[in-house]
């Protein structure tokens, strides 16, 4: 079974696309760090809300990814564009499409 993480973050008005770009720039190294799914989503009905869904080989892999220099740089770049309103859920992934 894999570790799943789903969360939302709210960008300050007008900065959602900038935050999304930062999140998507980070994709390249994730597979090698143990991530098999990394999905960034937005909705037309809420111009500031961003959803992120991730599936990792393990929680330890996810936690280790947060210590990578490129991840820390992405977080530092995005934080000034976020309101501080976050939600998160940890799950155990039991199946689905590969």
pLDDT at 28: 84
**Residue 50 domain-assigned (yes or no):** yes
CA distance 17 to 38: 17
pLDDT at 97: 86
Q: What percent of the chain has pLDDT over 70?
A: 100
- For the chain, residues with pLDDT lower than 50 are none
Task: Provide the residue range defining the domain that includes 77.
Answer: 2-93
Widest pairwise Cα distance in the chain: 38
Total number of domains in the chain: 1
The pTM is what? 0.92
**Residue 44 domain-assigned (yes or no):** yes
CA distances from 32 to 21, 29, 59, 66, 78 (A): 20, 6, 15, 14, 23
pLDDT at 88: 97
Supply 81's token pair: 């564009």
pLDDT at 95: 93
CA distance 71 to 35: 13
**Residue 74 domain-assigned (yes or no):** yes
**Residue 47 domain-assigned (yes or no):** yes
Strand (E) or helix (H) holding 64? helix 59-65
């Amino acid at each position: 079974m894999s570790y799943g993480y789903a969360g939302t973050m709210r960008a300050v008005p007008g900065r959602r696309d900038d935050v999304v770009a930062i999140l998507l720039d980070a994709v390249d190294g994730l597979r090698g760090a143990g991530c098999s799914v990394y999905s960034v989503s937005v909705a037309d009905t809420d111009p500031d809300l961003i959803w992120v869904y991730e599936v990792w080989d393990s929680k330890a892999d996810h936690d280790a990814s947060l210590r990578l220099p490129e991840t820390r740089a992405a977080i530092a770049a995005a934080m000034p564009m976020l309101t501080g309103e976050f939600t998160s859920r940890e799950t155990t992934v039991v199946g689905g499409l590969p």
